[in-house]
Each structure stands twice: as C-alpha cells, then as structure tokens.
Structure 1
Amino acid sequence: MAEVDFYVLQGESAPEPQQFACRLLDTVYRRGLEVHVHVSGPQAARDLDDRLWSFSAGAFVPHRVVGSAGRAPVWIGWEAPAQPGEVLLNLSEEVPLFFSGFRRVLELVPAHGDGLRRARERYRFYRERGYPLRQHKLGGGA
C-alpha cells in the first residue's frame, strides 16, 4: 500500500510551490530513488522542465519529459506511466488513478486559494481509503 506524504506550504514564509517541488525532487534524487512527476498537461511539464534547469545554481536533477529520448531518474508526464515506480510526486489537482502502483506519493498543499481546497479533497480521498498519511509543515505561521 502506498504511503502518502503531504507537504503543507503555510504562512507568510511558505516556499513557492514550484521552487519547493524542485528542491523536493533534488532531495529524492540524491537518495537514489526514481520519481514520476505527474503534472496537469504538456505546458506544466515544460514549465517544470525549465524550472529544474534553473532552480539552484549548484543543483542538477537529471530529468526528462515523458516522450523525449533517453532515461533519467526523474520523469515528468501528464498520463499514466508505462510502469509504476518508487515515488510519485503529484503536481496535478486530482489524485492520479495510477497512484497505488507507487510505494510513496508526495503531495503539495499550497498556503491558500483553490489549490488548498483541492489538496484537502485529495487528503480526504486517501484517508477514506485507509492509506498511511504524513504531514510535513513548511514555512511559518498558521
């Protein structure tokens, strides 16, 4: 059964979600794990691809957008992968239908707005089905 981690970006000093996603991917990659990043569509994939090249001067996260040539430990796509893997980072607004094929699922919770509401819906979805949940609070304030 997949374990689900929610990264709650809260308060005035909350990290910007795309920047935090890049840092999280860097951490997971450095631990030697493969990650599928699920995004909402081709433009979101291109945006994250661009961001991964520039998020930190000293960091390099080998990645590729699904459909491009080659292999990398981090792959970015908007459809179900050919085969599940170790870690799924969900950056879309819905729970991907294929999430249960992964050992760990990582979810970001924005500080406010519609993204926060949708993250709460995803949390409820996993909780109601009995998946082990963890929360990691980042930033200050409530």
Structure 2
Amino acid sequence: MASCRVDFYVPSSDTPDGRYTLACRVTEKAFQSGKHVYLYCQTPDQLTQMDERLWTFSSSSFIPHGLLGKTDELVRVILGCDDPSPDVAEIVISMANTPVSTFSLFSRVAEIVGTDDSERQLARNRFKFYRDNGVEPVTHKV
C-alpha cells in the first residue's frame, strides 16, 4: 500500500470563519478528485456548522454530502464525529483536535489548523504525532 500523505492547512484569516471556509475549500478540491471523502469533525456543533456551510460557501457551486450513518454509499462526502474508517473514505479532512490515529489506512489526510493559540498548539501536537510515526507532513498557508 502506498504511504499516506498528510497536509496541514493553515488559514490566512485569524477568524474562526476562516477555518470553516478553508475546510470547505479543501473538501471541494477533494470532492472534485472523484474520491470518497470523510470530513472528521470534533463536535456535533462543528458538524452542524460544516453541514450548513458545505451547501452555501460558494455562490457558484455546492458540495453534495451526507452525515455518517444517515446517507447512502453513492454520496462521496461524508461528515461525522466518529473516528475515520477506510470503509467510508479514501481521504480524511480533519477538524478534530486529535490526530487521525488510523492515518496509514488512507491515501491522504488533510488537517485543518485552528486560528487561536490553543488550536495551533493542538495542531503542533498532531504534526509531531505524524512525524513520530514516519510521515513528513507538508504545511500550506492559504
């Protein structure tokens, strides 16, 4: 199996909205690749916000998606708070505070970095986890 690629996306905007918009943009790009995507949310509230934003973040497009356990297998973008499973997706986009412990089961993990100091420290911890497990993450400031 090919190794997993891990990317960290750091929003250029320091507002919480910047993180959500960035997550939508990364999800859209992953969706356009034709692969199945799992958007890993930290909390049910975050999941609800992402669910709403994926329908409306762009005036020229939307990302069809469903919630884990509440949609059919034809939907390529799934949102959930449960640990990612390779049965659901090939790509994980994570807004969680903890690393994707099963990262090696996926072709790609995209970590969306938060905007405040505590969220950035959690991202540093996730970065270290991947590095300690043999992956050299790539950071993108967008």
TM, length-normalised to structure 1: 0.86
| Matches of 2:86 and 2:141, distance apart in 1 | 32
Deviations 1:88-129 (A, max 9, x none): 001110013332211100012234321111001100111111
Deviation at 1:61, TM superposition (A): 0.7
State the match for 1:79 in structure 2.
Answer: 82
Q: Do 1:9 and 1:15's aligned partners in 2 also have CA atoms closer than 8 Å?
A: no
Q: What amino acid is aligned across from residue 30 of structure 2 in structure 1? A: V
Change (3 A) 1:98 1:7: same
CA RMSD of aligned residues (A): 2.2
Q: 1:58 aligns with which of 52, 57, 60?
A: 60
Say how many residue pairs are matched: 138
| Matches of 2:15 and 2:69, distance apart in 1 | 36
State the match for 2:137 in structure 1.
Answer: 133
Percent identity reads: 29
Look up the SS of the partner of 2:23 in the other structure.
Answer: helix
Q: Do 1:2 and 1:132's aligned partners in 2 also have CA atoms closer than 8 Å?
A: no
Q: Do 1:84 and 1:101's aligned partners in 2 also have CA atoms closer than 8 Å?
A: no
Q: Which runs of 5+ in 1 are unaligned?
A: none
Q: Which runs of 5+ in 2 are unaligned?
A: none
Q: 1:21 aligns with which of 15, 20, 23?
A: 23
Change (3 A) 1:51 1:103: same
Look up the SS of the partner of 1:68 in the other structure.
Answer: coil
